[in-house]
């Protein structure tokens, strides 16, 4: 946790500034373990992540840090990955044990959390290997295949709308897939990742955007950031899960500069036949931004135009009939800067140029052949509906002596048009160094 960033924050419960209460470990990036104090009390910094929820774990974590038990502090803060029922039960029982003062039960329930901490702290193994060791099939598939899931695809065109001349907030960042792609267009030090899950932030810091700043918070309370601090506010697949949507979006407007851009990718539609979260109708989402110029775009139209033509048209305003179709998702862009609402062209050229670590999409099983490699699409544990897209072919054959070793890099250099075609189909994706 960098001191210069910490100095910009305030307590979301009292509005008072944070003062560093103590430091148990620090590195070149700032405070790694310690605690800060406000008029609401002490809040822990765990592995460089400021944890702000006021819950039954706050005081025990601070005490563990005070006592120098840093590994136990991390284990206590980590949640077992959702949505497996066993993980949910352990997390709830662990909190209940602290809430009721039944510490022996908390001690027993620390065992699976310590195991999780050991797995995530060990070595330099890739995310996919680590996820498999955690043995949570649905969660693991969700993270490994996230870059090409239909609910994530709107992120790609919307990256081009973000303003890069100042700090950028990624709210509800999850494991950091969006933050990773954002780090291709702005230095990671400009990104602030915020999420309610400490485990997600811990993994995001480890794999996706290590130089970003991380704040664990409850989005139903005011945000701890200074007014007019961010040049862009980004959120993907998160706002529809919040209870206090109006208060949250008003906070987005407060912490953003006047000419900033607010990008909400994948807002689940209440009119979709598939229910999820606490979704709103298109009119409901638009009312959240009364008084701010904005565009609400049907997700299927936006993704189709991006994939097939490399465009994003924010000059167009959609009718109520077009927005009220039973599509799974919508995306919203809001800004007082009229120049934001234009047509963006040649987006695939930009996307391909930003791919610094292209890999074969891990949804494909790669088999070496005499002339190259054959790719066959897997059947993830994640339900089929999350992969019902025509953009990923069921199978494909890649030719060239470099497969399956350094074939992607060779293709990028020797056959740029073929490389761009495979990227457009999401056969090739950009990923962190330790991803698969």
Mean pLDDT, rounded, for 293-309: 95
CA gyration radius for the chain? 22
What length is written for the chain?
A: 436
Rounded to whole angstroms, the Cα distance separating 26 from 105 reads 32
Mean pLDDT, rounded, for 417-430: 94
Pick the closest to residue 138 from 378, 388, 386, 382 (CA basis): 382
Q: Which helix (H) or strand (E) holds 183?
A: none
Q: Which helix (H) or strand (E) holds 331?
A: strand 329-335
pLDDT for 328 equals: 85
Which stretches of 101-162 are DSSP H helices? 103-121, 127-134, 137-144, 155-158
At residue 137 the predicted structure's pLDDT band, cuts being 50, 70 and 90, is low
The answer to whether the beta carbons of residues 23 and 33 sit under 8 Å apart is yes
Residue whose pair of structure tokens reads 């189709």 in the numeric block: 304
Rounded to whole angstroms, the Cα distance separating 152 from 183 reads 16
The set of residues, in sequence order, having a beta carbon less than 8 Å from that of 435 and lying 6+ positions away, is 126, 127, 128, 144, 207, 357, 359, 362
Specify the 3-state DSSP secondary structure of 17. strand
The answer to whether the beta carbons of residues 78 and 51 sit under 8 Å apart is no
Mean pLDDT, rounded, for 394-412: 80
The answer, yes or no, to whether residue 318 has pLDDT greater than 90, is: yes
Q: Which helix (H) or strand (E) holds 428?
A: strand 428-430
At residue 389 the predicted structure's pLDDT band, cuts being 50, 70 and 90, is low
Rounded to whole angstroms, the Cα distance separating 178 from 262 reads 15
The answer to whether the beta carbons of residues 219 and 196 sit under 8 Å apart is yes
Per residue, the 3-state secondary structure of 226-292, as one string, reads CCCCEEEEEEECCHHHCCCHHHHHHHHHHHEEEEEEEEEEEEEECCCCCCCCCCECHHHHHHCCCCC
Tokens of 310: 């490399």
The answer to whether the beta carbons of residues 396 and 404 sit under 8 Å apart is no
Q: Work out the mean pLDDT of the chain and round it to a whole number.
A: 92
pLDDT for 46 equals: 98
pLDDT for 409 equals: 87
Q: Which residue has the higher pLDDT, 110 or 344?
A: 344
- Count the neighbouring beta carbons within 10 Å of the beta carbon of residue 63: 15
Rounded to whole angstroms, the Cα distance separating 407 from 52 reads 45
Least confident of 70-84, 122-136, 339-353, 413-427: 122-136
Cα distance from N-terminal residue to C-terminal residue, the chain: 28
* Ramachandran bin of 344, using left for φ above 0, alpha for ψ from -120 to 50, beta for the remaining angles: beta
Phi, psi dihedral angles at 74 (to 5 degrees) = -65, -45
Specify the 3-state DSSP secondary structure of 186. coil
The answer to whether the beta carbons of residues 54 and 13 sit under 8 Å apart is yes
pLDDT, tens only, 54-88 = 999 999 999 999 999 999 999 999 999 876 678 88
Pick the closest to residue 260 from 336, 191, 315 (CA basis): 336
Bridge partners of residue 334, in order along the sequence: 262, 294
At residue 27 the predicted structure's pLDDT band, cuts being 50, 70 and 90, is confident
């Amino acid at each position: 946790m960098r001191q210069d960033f910490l100095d910009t924050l305030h307590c979301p419960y009292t509005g008072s500034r944070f003062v560093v209460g103590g430091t148990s470990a620090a590195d070149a990036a700032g405070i790694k373990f310690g605690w800060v104090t406000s008029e609401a009390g002490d809040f822990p910094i765990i592995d460089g992540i400021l944890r702000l929820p006021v819950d039954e774990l706050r005081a025990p974590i601070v005490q563990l840090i005070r006592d120098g038990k840093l590994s136990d502090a991390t284990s206590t803060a980590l949640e077992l990955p959702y949505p497996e029922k066993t993980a949910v039960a352990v997390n709830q029982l662990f909190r209940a044990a602290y809430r009721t003062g039944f510490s022996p039960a908390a001690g027993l329930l620390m065992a699976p959390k310590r195991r999780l901490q050991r797995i995530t702290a060990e070595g330099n193994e890739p995310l996919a290997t680590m996820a498999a060791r955690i043995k949570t099939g649905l969660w693991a598939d969700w993270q490994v295949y996230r870059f090409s899931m239909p609910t994530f695809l709107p992120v790609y065109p919307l990256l081009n709308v973000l303003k890069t001349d100042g700090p950028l907030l990624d709210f509800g960042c999850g494991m950091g897939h969006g933050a990773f792609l954002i780090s291709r267009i702005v230095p990671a030090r400009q990104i602030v990742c915020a999420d309610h899950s400490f485990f997600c932030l811990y993994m995001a810091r480890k794999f996706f955007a290590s130089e970003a700043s991380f704040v664990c918070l409850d989005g139903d309370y005011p945000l701890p950031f200074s007014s007019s601090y961010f040049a862009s506010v980004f959120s993907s697949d998160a706002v529809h899960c919040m209870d206090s949507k109006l208060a949250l979006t008003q906070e987005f407007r407060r912490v953003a500069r006047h000419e900033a851009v607010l990008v909400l990718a994948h807002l689940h539609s209440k009119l979709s036949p598939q229910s999820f979260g606490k979704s709103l109708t298109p009119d409901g989402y638009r009312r959240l931004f009364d008084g701010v110029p904005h565009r609400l775009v049907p997700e299927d139209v936006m993704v189709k135009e991006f994939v097939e033509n490399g465009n994003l048209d924010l000059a167009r305003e959609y009718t109520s009939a077009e927005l009220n179709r039973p599509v799974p998702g919508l995306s919203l862009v809001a800004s007082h800067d009229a120049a934001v609402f234009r047509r963006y062209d040649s987006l695939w050229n930009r996307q391909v140029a930003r791919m610094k670590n292209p890999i074969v999409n891990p949804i494909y099983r790669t088999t070496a052949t005499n002339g190259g490699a054959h790719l066959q699409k897997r059947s993830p544990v994640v339900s089929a509906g999350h992969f019902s897209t025509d953009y990923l072919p069921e199978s494909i054959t890649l030719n060239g002596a470099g497969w399956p070793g350094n074939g992607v890099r060779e293709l990028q250099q020797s056959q740029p048009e073929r490389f761009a075609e495979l990227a457009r189909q999401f056969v090739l994706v950009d990923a962190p160094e330790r991803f698969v």
